[in-house]
C-alpha cells in the first residue's frame, strides 16, 4: 500500500474554503438558535395555554428526531410543500437551526427554572412587571448559569455540521468526500478530514472546560 499525502496539500484551497463554510454554518446556526431558543423557552414557560403547548410540541418534536432525517426532510419536503427552493446551504442552516433551537430552548428553560421563584416575587414586590423581572433579574442570572451548557452545545454543533454534507452543502465533510471520490485517496482524505476536525474541535473543547470552571455555580 502506497500512501500519497500530497493529495491533501493539492486540495488545500478547497479544504480551507470548506472549513470556512463549516464555521459559517456553526456561527449562523448559533446566532439564530440562541435568541429563538430564549423565545421558545419564554413562550413555553409564560405563554398562554395554546402557545405553550405549541412551543412544547416543537421542542419535543425536534429533540426526538435524528438530525440527519431533519436535514433530508428540509431538503426534499419543504420545497414541495412551500414552493420555495432554497440553496443547500440555506436548507442545511434551517435544519440545524430548527434542531439547535429546540435544544437551546430546553437549556434556557432549565436556566430560568433554576432561579428561585422568590426572586421574581421580590422584583414584582418592588414594582416591576413580570416581563421586567424576567428581563432584569432572572435572565441575566440564568444566562450566566447556562453559558457552559451553551458552550458544549456549540462544540456538538460544530461536529454535527458534517451531517449537512448529505445534501451537498460544500462544508468540510462534503468537500473531503468529494476529493476522495475524485482522487481515490480514501485513507489520506478521511485521515486529513479527521485531523482538521480534531485540530479545530480540541481547542474549542478546552475553551468549554475553561468556561465551565469560570462560570461554575457554587451554592
Interaction between residue 76 and another protein (CB under 8 A): yes
Interaction between residue 67 and another protein (CB under 8 A): yes
Which 139-178 residues touch another protein, going by CB under 8 A? 163, 166
- Could you write out the DSSP letters of every residue in 110-153? HHHHHS-HHHHHHHHHTT--HHHHIIIIIHHHHHHHHHHHHHHH
Instruction: Give the CB-side neighbour count of residue 11, counting CA atoms within 13 A.
Output: 23
Interaction between residue 65 and another protein (CB under 8 A): yes
Answer for the pair 85, 79: CB distance below 8 angstroms, yes or no: yes
Output the smallest distance, CB 127 to another protein, in A.
Answer: 28
Output the smallest distance, CB 67 to another protein, in A.
Answer: 7
**What is the total count of residues that contact another protein (CB under 8 A)?**
17
- Whichever of 2 and 82 has its CB closer to another protein, that residue is 82
Q: Which of 7, 17, 68, 86 binds another protein (CB under 8 A)?
A: 68
Cβ-count burial of 159 within 10 angstroms (0-12 exposed, 13-18 middle, 19+ buried)? middle
Interaction between residue 63 and another protein (CB under 8 A): yes
Backbone angles phi, psi at 59, to 5 degrees: -60, -45
Interaction between residue 205 and another protein (CB under 8 A): no
Q: Which stretch binds another protein (CB under 8 A): 25-33, 47-55, 77-85, 206-214?
A: 77-85
Interaction between residue 80 and another protein (CB under 8 A): yes
H helices of the chain, where? 6-10, 12-46, 49-63, 67-82, 88-114, 117-125, 130-133, 139-160, 172-183, 186-214
- Whichever of 113 and 182 has its CB closer to another protein, that residue is 113
- Whichever of 26 and 165 has its CB closer to another protein, that residue is 165
Task: Report the candidate in 42, 51, 155 with the shortest Cα–Cα distance to residue 105.
Answer: 42
Show the cell assigned to 57: 410540541
- Whichever of 23 and 72 has its CB closer to another protein, that residue is 72
Give me the residues that bind another protein (CB under 8 A), please.
60-61, 63-69, 72-73, 76-77, 80-81, 163, 166
Amino acid at each position: 500500500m502506497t500512501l500519497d499525502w500530497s493529495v491533501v496539500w493539492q486540495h488545500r484551497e478547497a479544504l480551507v474554503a470548506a472549513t470556512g463554510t463549516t464555521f459559517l454554518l456553526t456561527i449562523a446556526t448559533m446566532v439564530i438558535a440562541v435568541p429563538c431558543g430564549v423565545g421558545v423557552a419564554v413562550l413555553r414557560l409564560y405563554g398562554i395555554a395554546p402557545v405553550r403547548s405549541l412551543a412544547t410540541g416543537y421542542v419535543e418534536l425536534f429533540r426526538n428526531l435524528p438530525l440527519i432525517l431533519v436535514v433530508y426532510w428540509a431538503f426534499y419536503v419543504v420545497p414541495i410543500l412551500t414552493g420555495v427552493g432554497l440553496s443547500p446551504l440555506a436548507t442545511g442552516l434551517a435544519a440545524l437551526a430548527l434542531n439547535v433551537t429546540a435544544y437551546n430552548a430546553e437549556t434556557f428553560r432549565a436556566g430560568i427554572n433554576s432561579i428561585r421563584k422568590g426572586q421574581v416575587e421580590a422584583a414584582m414586590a418592588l414594582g416591576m412587571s413580570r416581563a421586567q423581572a424576567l428581563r432584569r433579574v432572572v435572565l441575566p442570572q440564568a444566562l450566566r448559569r447556562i453559558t457552559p451548557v451553551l458552550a458544549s452545545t456549540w462544540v456538538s454543533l460544530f461536529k454535527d455540521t458534517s451531517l449537512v454534507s448529505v445534501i451537498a452543502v460544500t462544508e468540510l465533510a462534503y468537500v473531503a468526500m468529494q476529493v476522495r471520490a475524485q482522487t481515490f485517496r480514501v485513507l489520506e482524505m478521511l485521515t486529513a478530514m479527521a485531523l482538521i476536525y480534531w485540530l479545530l474541535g480540541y481547542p474549542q473543547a478546552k475553551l468549554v472546560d475553561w468556561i465551565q470552571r469560570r462560570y461554575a455555580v457554587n451554592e
